[in-house]
Structure 1
């Protein structure tokens, strides 16, 4: 029984005692709440509007080529 206690219970008890330290649940709760709030805000962002279309360009005016005299 002592072997079972030393092998399993003692490391498990040490692990659980880490959670009983001062402020652990406070900091864990703050981090969890802030992450959940961030995910909530990101999921409720407004849609990105489509890009504005450029104004239609008029076709370039044709220039008359100069007639060279002979």
Structure 2
């Protein structure tokens, strides 16, 4: 996970971060455009935690659920 994020988190890779204040708070939604089976929520949890250790993640659907 660290290697995958490194490319986007170098000063030249994440230019949009310069537009967001360090103390900004945000909510987001990850939604599918079609029915399917959820996979990768543990990867999302790890990625969010690597980028910002105090981030919180709550899912409405369990991994493997259609």
Please state which band the TM-score falls in when normalised by the shorter chain.
Answer: under 0.3
Task: Give the structure with the larger helix fraction.
Answer: 1
What's the TM-score, normalizing by structure 1? Answer: 0.21
